Chain A
């Protein structure tokens, strides 16, 4: 099983600021990593797949990079609607054993 560790656990950020979220894997893999945004009471939303590819309709202020054991999601200029919990998820293993990080909660100051 690949264990994903996200940090920080919580971020309190002002609108307009740049935000970087981190996801570290317990073993190295190339790019089978996704990022999701989840707001209370809503369906989680896919933001990024294949480590850096934005999903359809995701604003360009969201970008991601990484490979190996260290992956990041960056919001270039935080908007008020970007609050929520962000999760990374790996899909490297086969037979499948999808795993998620513990999440980073982004709060708007």
Chain B
């Protein structure tokens, strides 16, 4: 059973960088055929895909966020991370990490519980 756990600051100031980590347990992150992904859900709204990375470092990003986004992977620690620059109140959301099966764009077969990040001064 794969388990994912998000961690990071719950409060970020406007114009600063939001940084989150996802720790993966129960399986190695070094597996083919999967991407390691970030999603978010603003308060009262639906889910949004942010972007994902393979264990070899190949990334794919949501075009609406790509200019501010970096997703990276640390296979030695079985972790991957999210960095979103120049945040505004619109980036306030619950952020989820997940494992995406590599089938066309992919679907997420394991998710973390999510962590709330609030952008406010």
Question: Does B106 make an interface contact (CB < 8 A)?
Answer: yes
B111 touches A92 (CB 8 A): no
CA distance A102 to B79 in the complex (A): 30
The segment from B46-54, B70-78, B82-90 found at the interface with A is B46-54
Interface residues on B, range: 20 to 34
Main DSSP-derived SS at the A contact region:
loop
The residues in A between 40 and 57 inclusive whose CB is less than 8 angstroms from any CB of B are 41-46, 49-50, 55
Query: Using Cβ atoms and an 8 Å threshold, which residues of chain B touch A97?
Result: 49, 62-63, 105
Chain A residue total in the interface (Cβ 8 A): 28
Question: Does A34 make an interface contact (CB < 8 A)?
Answer: yes
What does the 1/0 interface line of A74-88 toward B look like (CB < 8 Å)? 000000000000010
- Counted as pairs of residues, one from A and one from B, with CB atoms less than 8 Å apart, the total is 73
Question: Does B96 make an interface contact (CB < 8 A)?
Answer: yes
A103 touches B113 (CB 8 A): no
Given contacts A91-B103, A96-B60, A97-B62, contact A46 B108 (CB under 8 A): yes
Residues of A within 8 A of B (CB): 32, 34, 36, 41-46, 49-50, 55, 87, 89-103
